[in-house]
Amino acid sequence: MELPEKIAAMHADLDSIWPTGRNPECLPNDGGHFTLKGYTRPVSIGRIEAFLLFNLVRVLNIRTAFEIGTGFGYSSFWIAAGVIENDKGGWVGSIDSQQEGGLGVHGLDFARRWSNIIGLDSVLHFFTGKSPDDLSHVIREPLGLAFIDGNHYGEQPVLDYTGLQPHLLQDGILVWHDIEKKYGVNAAIAASIKDGWSLVTFPTSCRIGVSYRTLAGWQAATEAFSAARNLQIIH
């Protein structure tokens, strides 16, 4: 069984929400978000977003990645599945303060259990800690991809970005989740643009965006999304 199919096997262990997308402005094929059974928060990334992360990792041959906001590991699995296909010696870190919505350690327990079942343990490392204070303690490799999906409110996205950005390779990419007016993610994106990053956004239900500093980053974002929106995996 391929890694994406192994991740799909986990869906039976989760509750599905927004199965056809969050609002009418979403793309066809959007939706497919999940929560841990019995919990309403946190909510995972959606179906197209999951395929996009996997495809980005594959197209750019990314070997090192880091995520702020593990939740119960859903997005971590898709990133790590791409990395392990690129390089069995790759490194993916994911940090969570385990505070939002009272999920506590149940999210981490689920993430560890399914990382093992899917076969990602050799590359995927979960950390309990708070961004940005703990980022420098846990990030051990220059990063090809960083995914910011923690607390989206107030100044936290700017703090997340400021803490992560020194760890990124020059040709690395930043992926933002929940680029909506009500959140503080736009302020972090504005800070990144002042630092020389450019942004492309995609109309998924939680509005996802990719920041890049090289032409290859932009090309990868468009190629990865074109496949993801049709639910195609790039191997």
Of the pair 128, 219, the CB lying nearest ligand SAM is at 128
Of the pair 91, 114, the CB lying nearest ligand SAM is at 114
Closest approach of Cβ 48 to ligand SAM, in Å? 13
Dihedral sign from CA coordinates of 224, 159, 166, 78: negative
Closest approach of Cβ 134 to ligand SAM, in Å? 8
Closest approach of Cβ 214 to ligand SAM, in Å? 25
H/E element holding 117?
helix 105-118
Report how far residue 32's alpha carbon sits from residue 201's, in angstroms, rounded to the nearest whole number.
Answer: 19
Angle at 217 between CA 213 and CA 219, to 5 degrees: 135
Amino acid letter, 124: L
DSSP count for the chain of H helices, then E strands: 8, 9
Of the pair 50, 189, the CB lying nearest ligand SAM is at 50
Q: Which residues bind ligand SAM (CB under 6 A)?
A: 42, 44-45, 68-69, 71, 74-75, 95-100, 107, 130-131, 149-151, 156
Of the pair 131, 192, the CB lying nearest ligand SAM is at 131
Report how far residue 45's alpha carbon sits from residue 165's, in angstroms, rounded to the nearest whole number.
Answer: 22
Closest approach of Cβ 26 to ligand SAM, in Å? 16
Closest approach of Cβ 24 to ligand SAM, in Å? 22
Of the pair 97, 198, the CB lying nearest ligand SAM is at 97
Report how far residue 41's alpha carbon sits from residue 99's, in angstroms, rounded to the nearest whole number.
Answer: 10
Report how far residue 17's alpha carbon sits from residue 205's, in angstroms, rounded to the nearest whole number.
Answer: 12
Report how far residue 147's alpha carbon sits from residue 51's, in angstroms, rounded to the nearest whole number.
Answer: 14
